[in-house]
């Protein structure tokens, strides 16, 4: 009976993911206007204490650490042209971008990247940070792409205050390394598919990561370039997105282990590359894939060829809203708890993609959760019924 029950559970969970399968376009970051939708950090790395100074937009543009290439892709680089002299404290210039918009429950986010930074001392990440006045990680964090040094696979993680766990034995293709999301390292899932990070990712032509933030949980997918679903490959900035064909996610954080609406406020997207710091720079971790010293043998001295591969090349980042939420206020906020406010970017109107709308005046505050869609409420109800059934059997 146990194998049959496990099979039934898998089938129902797969159905749950697809209960709300169609999403409408909300915002696209791409092409000549890619950088208009982001705030530049313009300060040192004061969160993970990497040996970098994040530039503001003016200096990033002047030094060409951010620009749009001839293919229309956004390039976000670490400085590789400066020779850094030895000193008690050294920093190399880099970039941290934070989206002006925040995205909450009922949204999907997709990033198509051709290249992710890699190399000894290099720590790239594409992640999200919850808006709100409480200290990290009370508003939640979702690490979508993250790795260090010469790692050859990606790691996905959630960070939260105590009480959020990854449910035991989730239906996912990745390998769970930690289930407790309130630990400093977060609840981690390692990607098992090849070419998810580093040199392999670049040599395969990059790939796509996607996140569904739903009342039923947070789910993350990865596809290498040859395996991207047709619905994503053929999509444009105005296309609807049907996630029903996406298959099993790499990482699954279902509501049975963590109530997403309780632990995660609307999330701002963050794209950055730091160097060394509190993960890549730990000697025991650094030495597992790289020789010498993180700082002395990388940051100090000439930037090339050491940092020639330390760049993001992003074709686009697109966000979507559940079809049955499209007529309501987009689930986000344009406020930022960690840096000065800036003009609100113009998201694509989810009802008429040719029109823009300013969500600043209508967006709920970080403490005002969006009502769950009918589909997601049905999904949670199904989970509750199934779990009750399991309890009765055992």
Q: What is the pLDDT of residues 161-212, one digit of tens each?
A: 999 999 999 999 999 999 999 999 999 999 999 999 999 999 999 999 999 9
Q: Do residues 50 and 107 touch, judged by C-beta distance below 8 A?
A: no
Does pLDDT of 350 surpass 50? no
Q: What contacts 254, CB < 8 A, 6 or more positions away?
A: 13, 167, 170, 216, 217, 383
Q: Which of 203, 131, 128, 198 is nearest to 159 (CA)?
A: 128
User: Is 230 a catalytic site residue?
Assistant: no
Where residue 17 falls among pLDDT bands split at 50, 70, 90? Answer: very low
Q: Do residues 260 and 218 touch, judged by C-beta distance below 8 A?
A: yes
Does pLDDT of 392 surpass 90? no
292 SS3 class:
coil
Task: Choose the catalytic residue: 146, 191, 313, 323.
Answer: 146
User: Is 146 a catalytic site residue?
Assistant: yes
Task: Choose the catalytic residue: 93, 141, 313, 323.
Answer: 141
Q: Which of 340, 289, 350 is nearest to 319 (CA)?
A: 350
The model's pTM: 0.82
């Amino acid at each position: 009976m146990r194998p049959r029950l496990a099979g039934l559970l898998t089938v129902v969970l797969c159905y749950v993911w697809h209960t709300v399968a169609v999403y409408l376009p909300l915002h696209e970051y791409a092409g000549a206007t890619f950088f208009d939708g982001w705030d530049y950090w313009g300060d040192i790395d004061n969160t993970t204490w990497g040996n970098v100074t994040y530039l503001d937009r003016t200096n990033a543009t002047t030094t060409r650490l951010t620009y749009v290439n001839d293919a229309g892709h956004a390039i976000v680089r670490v400085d590789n042209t400066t020779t850094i002299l030895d000193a008690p404290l050294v920093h190399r210039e880099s970039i941290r971008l934070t989206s002006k918009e925040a995205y909450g429950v009922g949204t999907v986010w997709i990033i198509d990247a051709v290249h992710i930074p890699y190399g000894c001392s290099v720590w790239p990440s594409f992640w999200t940070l919850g808006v709100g006045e409480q200290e990290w990680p009370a508003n939640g964090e979702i690490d979508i792409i993250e790795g260090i040094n010469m790692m050859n696979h990606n790691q996905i993680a959630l960070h939260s205050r105590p009480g959020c766990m990854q449910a035991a034995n989730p239906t996912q293709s990745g390998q769970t390394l930690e289930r407790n999301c309130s630990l400093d390292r977060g609840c981690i899932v390692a990607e098992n598919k090849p070419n998810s990070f580093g040199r392999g990712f670049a040599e395969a032509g990059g790939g796509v990561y996607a996140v569904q933030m739903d009342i039923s949980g947070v789910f993350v997918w990865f596809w290498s370039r040859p395996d991207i679903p047709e619905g994503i490959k053929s999509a444009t900035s105005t296309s609807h997105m049907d996630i029903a064909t996406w298959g099993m996610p790499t990482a699954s954080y279902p509501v049975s282990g963590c109530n997403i609406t309780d632990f995660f406020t609307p999330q701002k997207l963050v794209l950055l590359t730091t160097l060394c710091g509190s993960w890549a720079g730990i000697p025991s971790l650094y030495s597992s894939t790289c020789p010498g010293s993180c700082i002395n043998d990388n940051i100090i001295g000439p930037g090339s060829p050491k940092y020639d591969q330390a760049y993001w090349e992003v074709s686009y980042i697109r966000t979507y809203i559940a079809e049955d939420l499209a007529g309501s206020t987009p689930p986000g906020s344009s406020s930022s708890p960690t840096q000065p406010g800036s003009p609100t970017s113009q998201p694509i109107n989810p009802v008429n993609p040719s029109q823009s709308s300013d969500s600043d005046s209508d967006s709920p505050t970080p403490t005002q959760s969006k009502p769950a869609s009918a589909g997601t409420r049905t999904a949670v109800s199904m989970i509750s019924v199934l779990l009750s059934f399991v309890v009765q059997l055992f």
